[in-house]
Amino acid sequence: MSVLIIIDQAPYGNWSGREALDMALSLAAFDQPVSLLFVGAGINWLRKQQNPAPIQQKGVNRNLAGATVFGIEELLADQDALQRYGLGAEDLLDGVAITHYDQDLLANYLHVVCQ
Amino acid sequence: MTASQFVQFTLVVTGAPYTSQAPQTALHFARAAIAAGHTIDRVFLYGDGVQLATNLACAPSDEPNWHRSWSEFLSAANIPAVACIASALRRGVINDEERARYERDANNLASPFQLLGLGEWVESVASTSKVIYFHAGG
Amino acid sequence: MMTLHILNKSPEHPRFRLCLEAVGDADQLLLIENAVLALSVEGIKLPGRIMALASDLDARGVSVDGSVDAIHYDGMVALAAAADRVISW
Provide CATH code, domain A3-113.
3.40.1260.10
Name the helix (H) or strand (E) containing B125.
Answer: helix B119-126
Q: Are B116 and B85 in contact (CB under 8 A)?
A: yes
- pLDDT score of B125: 98
What φ, ψ does residue C63 adopt, rounded to 5°?
-105, 150
Residue B46 in 3-state DSSP?
A: coil
Average pLDDT, integer, range B45-49: 98
A-B CB pairs within 8 A amount to: 35
Let me know if A2 is exposed, middle or buried by CB neighbors in 10 A (0-12, 13-18, 19+). middle
pLDDT band for C52, please (50, 70, 90 cuts): very high
- Write the Ramachandran bin of B2: left for phi over 0, alpha for psi from -120 to 50, otherwise beta: beta
- pLDDT score of B4: 59
- pLDDT score of C73: 98
Number of domains in chain B: 1
List the domain boundaries for chain C: 3-88
CA dist B14 and A87 (Å) reads 31
How much is the ipTM here? 0.97
Q: To the nearest whole angstrom, how far is the Cα of C24 from the nearest Cα of chain A? A: 6
Pairwise CB contact (< 8 Å): C22 & A103:
yes
> Can B58 be counted among the known catalytic residues?
no
B neighbours by CB contacts (3+ pairs under 8 Å): A, C
Task: Give the residue on C whose Cα is nearest the Cα of B1.
Answer: C78
User: Which of C5, C8, C15, C89 best tests the B interface by mutation, with the highest count of B CBs <10 A?
Assistant: C8
Could you say which residues of chain A have pLDDT below 70? 1
The pTM assigned to this predicted structure is 0.97
- pLDDT score of C49: 78
Average pLDDT, integer, range C54-74: 96
**Residue B59 sits in which domain range?**
3-134
- pLDDT score of A1: 61
- pLDDT score of A67: 87
Give the A window 30-49 contacts with C, CB below 8 Å. Answer: 39-41
pLDDT at B35 exceeding the cut of 60: yes
At the top level of CATH, the class of C3-88 is: alpha beta
Residues of chain B contacting C89 with CB distance shorter than 8 Å: 135
CATH number of the domain encompassing residue B44: 3.40.1260.10
Pairwise CB contact (< 8 Å): B135 & C8:
yes
